[in-house]
A = this chain, B = another copy of it.
């Protein structure tokens, strides 16, 4: 069935019937003019919105509709993680071409519910409109204790720069999806899954803010180069990254080799890894690393250090040679 046969009201009812999970925090979900939610008993509200446009952020030739839902929500939840918070409710704006099938929209919702349930976020509302192209726009409401709120602006000179997981894998996946890369199946699956079904670092962020004092944090959506510039600019500092310390998975290296690229470029400019970039004082790094690894199994890696602003942003290679990062030439630009 085409969506234009079902109509907006029919679609809303169809989605509403699937939202059966009970949640004491939600007083009114889908079906009224607004959702109504109990405020957190203590702490702050945090809110973020993000949009995913067919042909810009995803390509239906290699994304399933379920994966489109997964990725849209994961990317939005990643912003909640980067503030040290946990999500509560989400709103979904669906821009649908008249010709899209109802079953495809069902699959988008399946992906969203999968990720939402995993991270205790309820879909509480949204809207649907006709559009020439498929777009998902997600807004997430979350909460965080005031003392644990982590901003981009808190980095201090002398802090160590850390990242969760490994970098460049999503870019490797994108290349594997677009080109005919000759590699074994497990390698291809590992990298393509990172691109198609990223996982927001919500539990990792919570363990970190609960175990140590995270001075600053940002999620890696645009690539390490650009996101480090954001963090440095907001904090009024410079930074140094040591090239050899950037964690890159073997699968990512294999794809880079196969297409004769430098895997470091994937990490620096690739984007969409949705790992966390954060700064900790030197004395707290080991405590944070151990807590996160024990509770979530995710690695925390020191990749550099915060410098005074006048030092700029430096990339130091194996031989100790320093170059200032060429941030304008890479990373994802939206226009």
> Residues on A close to B: CB < 8 A?
3-4, 6-8, 11, 27-28, 31-40, 43-51, 53, 56-57, 78-80, 82-83, 85, 89, 91-93, 95-96, 98, 124-133, 135, 137, 139, 141-142, 144, 149, 151-153, 218-219, 234, 333-335
Known contacts A7-B335, A335-B4; is-contact A37 B44 (Cβ 8 Å): yes
Number of copies: 2
List 25 A-B residue pairs with CB atoms under 8 Å apart, sorted by A's residue number: A6-B335, A7-B334, A8-B335, A27-B44, A31-B152, A32-B152, A32-B153, A33-B79, A34-B85, A35-B46, A36-B47, A39-B40, A47-B91, A47-B124, A47-B141, A49-B125, A49-B126, A51-B137, A56-B129, A56-B130, A56-B131, A98-B335, A130-B334, A130-B335, A132-B132
Q: How far is the CB of A223 from chain B (nearest CB, A)?
A: 13
Q: Which of A31, A96, A129 has the most CB of B within 10 A?
A: A129
CA–CA, A141 and B44, complex, Å: 13
Q: Which residue of B lies closest to A55 (CB)?
A: B132
Contact residues in B for A4 (Cβ distance below 8 Å): 335
Known contacts A50-B127, A79-B34; is-contact A135 B8 (Cβ 8 Å): no
Q: B334 and A137: CB pair below 8 A?
A: no
Contact residues in B for A78 (Cβ distance below 8 Å): 33
Contact residues in B for A334 (Cβ distance below 8 Å): 7-8, 128-130
Q: Which residue of B lies closest to A48 (CB)?
A: B34
Q: Which of A46, A57, A98 has the most CB of B within 10 A?
A: A46
Q: B137 and A89: CB pair below 8 A?
A: no
Contact residues in B for A44 (Cβ distance below 8 Å): 27, 36-39
Q: B53 and A34: CB pair below 8 A?
A: no
